[in-house]
Amino acid sequence: MKLQRKNRRALALGALAVSGALALTACGSDDTGGKNNAGGGSTTASNSSVKCDDAKGQLLADGSSAQKNAIDAWVKEFSQACGVQINYKGGGSGAGITAFTQGQVAFAGSDSPLKPEEVTASQKICTDGGQGIDLPMVGGPIAVGYNLPGVDDLVLDAPTLAKIFDSKIKNWDDAAIKKLNPDAKLPNLKIQAFHRSDESGTTDNFTKYLKAAAPQNWKYEGGKAWQAKGGQAAPQSSGLAQQVKQTEGAIGYFELSYAKDMSTVAIDTGASAPVKATVENASKAIADAKIVGTGKDLSLELNYKTKAEGAYPMVLVTYEIVCDKGNKSDTLPATKAFLNYIAGEDGQKLLAQNDYAPIPDEIISKVRTTIEGLS
């Protein structure tokens, strides 16, 4: 009996030691090397062009995952040159805007411009009567990838795409597809149309395109959530690309960088030749966009019906969101310096290397002017 009691005490001590050790290891594994960002070799952009001004300290940012890779590439260059740590979380556009309107981040990234009520909410954060504004910074083509052995250069137009993704066209040897691809050997195979199961700016822009370019065949309202009823779904662009790759007869939409090792659809826009999803072709389509933001806001309205030669109409533009006036004084210099860099020539050049499309000159020059005026 006594022995037992002693044992129990030893056991308790042991348990204490074990849990202590666990707590220690938990702490140990938790340290995230912030310095890693600064390391890593620079690629092409010359660091001398990065103007640091009096940027210092640390920047927090959150938002669109669609531009995360672009931001990461920029942050690597910028923090190397200026020693400023920038932590962009990529938690999604919604999360980014929420964090911005709660004053937790210096800037937010978003796939869509601020809504009126979000602008109102931002006025609480931006002092001096300022408000949140949208700065178009990163463009990107949305590629339509497919898995159809033996068919390499598939051409589709907006109505056919809309019908495929709305489960109206169910087989690859459908007459509408044959008409657009007279030379292709289309198999008698069921079409597996894949869409995003999570809410996404990519879905938003893809369906906006379908709605604008094929209003007869796409009756859904649009938005970040997929609204058509049929088809298959998978989470995230990477998940979607994975499914398309492993499913014969599949077709799906994602950012160009995910379409690396598969065939993509060329779009028959009405121009003389079908347009491939490339970075240059996307920039041409963005050049056709109108600035619809008022004041310092530079939100764009894309022309999805563009028939310009070589313009790929299915594009996505992501914005950086900051206050036009009344940014926090401790983060303003670093924010300005960073935005200056990414909107600058070198920053925009870096985009194409990461499968994003640079913003055309006419628009980006206005963005630069606006950044200069931030206070």
Per CB under 8 A, residues contacting another protein are: 2, 5-6, 65, 91-95, 97-98, 190, 192, 197-201, 221, 223-225, 227, 229-235, 239, 243, 246-247
Minimum separation from the CB atom of position 232 to another protein (A): 4
Minimum separation from the CB atom of position 300 to another protein (A): 20
Nearer to another protein, 58 or 197 (CB): 197
Residue whose tokens read 């996307």: 282
Nearer to another protein, 99 or 213 (CB): 99
Distance of CA 172 to the CA centre of its chain: 30
Nearer to another protein, 85 or 110 (CB): 110
Which residues are registered as beta bridge partners of 220? none
Which helix (H) or strand (E) segment holds residue 80: the answer is helix 68-82
Burial 129-142 (b: 16+ CB within 10 A, else e): ebbbbbbbbbbbbb
Minimum separation from the CB atom of position 172 to another protein (A): 13
Nearer to another protein, 92 or 141 (CB): 92
Tell me which residue of 95, 53, 105, 62 sits closest to 200, measured CA to CA.
95
Minimum separation from the CB atom of position 106 to another protein (A): 20
Minimum separation from the CB atom of position 17 to another protein (A): 21
Minimum separation from the CB atom of position 245 to another protein (A): 12
Nearer to another protein, 2 or 35 (CB): 2
Q: Which residues contact 369 (CB under 8 A, 6 or more apart)?
A: none
Q: At 140, which amino acid appears?
A: G
Distance of CA 72 to the CA centre of its chain: 12
Nearer to another protein, 195 or 366 (CB): 195
Residue whose tokens read 């600035």: 291
CA angle 208, 214, 253 (to 5 degrees): 50
The torsion of the CA quartet 323, 321, 121, 369, rounded to 10 degrees, works out to: 40
Nearer to another protein, 60 or 180 (CB): 60
Length of the chain: 375
Diameter of the chain by CA atoms? 94
Minimum separation from the CB atom of position 242 to another protein (A): 8
